[in-house]
Amino acid sequence: MAVNIKTTNMQLTEALRNYVEDKLSNLERHLPNAPTNIDVELDHQTRHNSGPIFRCEIMYAFPREKHVLRAESTETDMYAAIDTCVPKIKLQIDQESDKRETAVKRGGRKLKEMLRGFWE
């Protein structure tokens, strides 16, 4: 799994890079076995009167498809933004996997019904 991290208005420290990679490594068991690229954008938004605002955006494109999953969260702490964004993308990946599994099972059921019609 390749993690591409982009930062805006801030420096990417080694601790922050390790934290993001550690959090996203938990997603590996939910992803298909194909090579995957996950794009992470970390942003420090400076145009707020309420104090520092940090944004984390995670985008995952399914291999060999044009379908992209995206999750975003905004918090007052960068680590909190990452912590709230990872479960959102995990939920979307699980939902997509369930959709694919359901479609395969539905197709198998249809094929089985067609084959039963030939033998009866």
Domains of the chain and any CATH numbers: 2-93 (3.30.160.100)
Q: Which of 26, 6, 22, 16 has the alpha carbon at shortest distance from 77?
A: 16
User: What's residue 86's pLDDT?
Assistant: 93
Tens of pLDDT, residues 22-59: 999 888 877 766 667 889 999 998 877 777 799 999 99
Average pLDDT, the chain: 87
Rounded CA-CA distance 31/63 in Å is 10
Q: pLDDT value at position 80?
A: 94
Predicted TM-score (pTM) of this structure: 0.81
